[in-house]
Amino acid sequence: MAGYGGKIVLAKIDVDQSASLCSEYGVQSIPAVKAFRNGRVVAEFVRRPAARNRRGVAPRLAPSEQDEVLEAARRAIAAERPSEAEQALRQYLAEHPDNPAALLELARVVAMRGAHQDALALLNRIPEGAVEAEDAAASDFCWN
């Protein structure tokens, strides 16, 4: 989307060609807009003028500092530079010590290098009931 440096992507789905997708996300009338961040719906609305949609929703959808740090860490991991990811996450957590998403991502990085007790300590800092706590429970941390 213009004005956001490519950080927001607006995609149009053909409802006639994507009936199962519409059913999955409960689309009952069009236009329907679903905004996703990290695979989850974070905003949605139906039948609003396009200009109003962009002004009202786009600023809330732009990646946050947290999103950018987490994405940079994930790119570093994918590029086999886990120490770079760990450093970025630790810097972010120095300013935001209770951030569940950063704690979970750092626990993954720390577990990768075999520091299992440190990874468990990070996971234990994630508040019970947080989405990240559920993600941690479902994750396949390598503890061997």
- 69 vs 102: CA distance, rounded Å: 8
Q: Which two tokens stand for residue 120?
A: 């468990």
Contact in structure between 77 and 85 (CB atoms under 8 Å)? yes
What is the pLDDT, as a whole number, of residue 121?
93
CATH of 65-138, one of 1.10.10, 3.30.530, 1.25.40, 1.10.3470: 1.25.40
Contacts of 109 (CB under 8 A, 6+ apart): 73, 77, 82, 85, 86, 89
- For the record, the structure tokens of 101 come out as 């998403």
List, run by run, the mean pLDDT of 10-residue segments along the chain (144 residues): 62 84 83 76 68 57 76 87 92 91 92 91 89 76 52
Burial of residue 29 (CB within 10 Å: 0-12, 13-18, 19+) is exposed
Per CATH, the number for 1-62 is 3.40.30.10
Write down the pTM of the prediction.
0.58
The pLDDT score that the predictor gives to residue 11 is 74
- In angstroms, the CA 2 to CA 32 distance is 21
Using CA atoms in the order 104, 33, 52, 5, what is the torsion angle rounded to 10 degrees?
50
The domain limits of the chain are 1-62, 65-138
| Cβ atoms of 38 and 67 closer than 8 Å | yes
Residue 38 is predicted with a pLDDT of: 67
